[in-house]
Amino acid sequence: MPKRHVFRPDVKAQILKRLKEDGVPVAQLAQEHGVSTKTIYRWLSGGITSSQPSMLAYAKLRKENQSLKELVGLLSLELQTEKKKTVRR
pLDDT by residue (tens digit) across 6-15?
Answer: 788 888 889 9
The verdict on pTM exceeding 0.75 is no
* Residue 5 CA: distances (Å) to CA of 22, 35, 42: 25, 9, 14
pLDDT for 49 equals 44
pLDDT by residue (tens digit) across 23-80?
Answer: 889 999 999 988 899 999 988 887 544 456 678 888 999 999 999 999 999 999 999 9
DSSP string, 59-72: HHHHHHHHHHHHHH
